């Protein structure tokens, strides 16, 4: 069994596939996309702050690898070892941030449900659903849901047909309830979702760009030179 290179082993732990090798003629050039500057993460919530911390780690390692690679005096095997360590630390920071953001998102989702579906006496909830099933959702249900979270809870906590709704109508009611009773939590959730996507894309892109270079630096000799040396040693 062939032993994985250090960078490949670090990626395998995270379930990441090896990146495709790039052409050798530019093997010291590292691109650092401007999209992954920490300042591109917008928001003041906990998730945005977590994402900025992770992006600082990713971007900082990325830039340092790029600058070191541009120095022609740096030996490639040494560069590969240093870049592997820097990249693995940055990806570890990214993984930790994603876990924390996921936890923050679950908490926000739980709070949204609590605010839009507060506990309602089961008998009352059944009466509310029967009332709107008979009256029809177009005859004031939207206004009732926006003004009274108990109405929203009665409708949202049961199958939609019990309130005379289909799935699409129920989703409209849910969105109205969120807007009326949990708008701040929903805004925080959307901010967290954007922050998470940004970190996930950045770490994936870093792997795609940097990993092939590290692999080349670990094996700097080309096939022709290796064959020539073999002849001399024969």
Q: Are 78 and 144 found together in one domain?
A: no
Q: Are 92 and 200 found together in one domain?
A: yes
Q: Are 49 and 69 found together in one domain?
A: yes
Residue 115 CA to residue 186 CA, distance in Å, equals 11
pLDDT at 10: 77
Q: Are 155 and 91 found together in one domain?
A: no
Based on the structure, what is the number of domains in the chain? 2
157 located within any domain: yes
Q: Are 200 and 99 found together in one domain?
A: yes
Task: Report residue 13 as tokens.
Answer: 């732990």
Neighbours of 15 (CB within 10 A): 6
List Cβ<8 Å contacts ≥24 apart for 171-179: 172/142, 173/137, 173/141, 173/142, 173/145, 174/116, 176/142, 176/145, 176/146, 176/152, 177/116, 177/117, 177/145, 177/146, 177/149, 177/152, 178/112, 178/116, 179/146
Residue with tokens 């040396």: 229
Q: Are 157 and 72 found together in one domain?
A: no
Residue 65 CA to residue 86 CA, distance in Å, equals 8
Range of the domain at 215: 6-105+196-221
CB distance 71 to 92 below 8 Å: no
DSSP helix/strand/coil, 197: helix
28 located within any domain: yes
- What is this structure's pTM? 0.78
Q: Are 125 and 208 found together in one domain?
A: no
231 located within any domain: no
Q: What is the separation, in whole angstroms, between the first and last Cα of the chain?
A: 27
Q: Are 64 and 95 found together in one domain?
A: yes
CB distance 49 to 193 below 8 Å: no
Q: Render each residue's pLDDT in the chain as its tens digit; 234 residues.
A: 456 667 777 777 777 766 665 544 448 889 899 889 999 999 999 999 999 999 999 999 999 999 999 998 888 889 999 999 999 999 999 999 999 999 999 999 999 999 999 999 999 999 999 999 999 988 999 999 999 999 999 999 999 999 999 999 999 999 999 999 999 999 999 999 999 999 999 999 999 999 999 988 887 555 555 666 666 565
pLDDT at 24: 47
């Amino acid at each position: 069994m062939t032993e994985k290179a250090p960078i490949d082993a670090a990626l395998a732990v995270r379930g990441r596939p090896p990146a495709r090798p790039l052409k050798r003629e530019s093997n010291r050039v590292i691109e650092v996309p401007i999209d992954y500057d920490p300042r591109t993460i917008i928001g003041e919530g906990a998730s945005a702050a977590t994402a900025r911390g992770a992006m600082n780690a990713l971007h900082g390692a990325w830039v340092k690898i790029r600058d070191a690679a541009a120095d022609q005096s740096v030996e490639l095997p040494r560069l590969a070892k240093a870049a592997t360590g820097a990249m693995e630390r940055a990806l570890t920071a990214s993984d930790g941030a994603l876990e924390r953001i996921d936890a923050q998102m679950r908490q926000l989702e739980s709070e949204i449900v609590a605010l839009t579906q507060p506990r309602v006496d089961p008998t009352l909830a059944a009466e509310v659903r029967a009332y709107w099933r008979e009256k029809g959702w177009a005859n004031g249900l939207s206004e009732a849901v926006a003004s009274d979270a108990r109405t929203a809870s009665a409708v949202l906590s049961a199958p939609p047909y019990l309130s005379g709704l289909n799935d699409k109508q129920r989703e409209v009611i849910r969105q109205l309830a969120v807007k009326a009773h949990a708008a701040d939590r929903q805004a925080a959730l959307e901010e967290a979702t954007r922050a998470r996507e940004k970190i996930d894309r950045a770490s994936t892109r870093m792997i795609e760009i940097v990993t092939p270079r590290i692999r080349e630096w670990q094996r700097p000799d080309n096939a022709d030179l290796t064959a020539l040396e073999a002849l001399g040693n024969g």
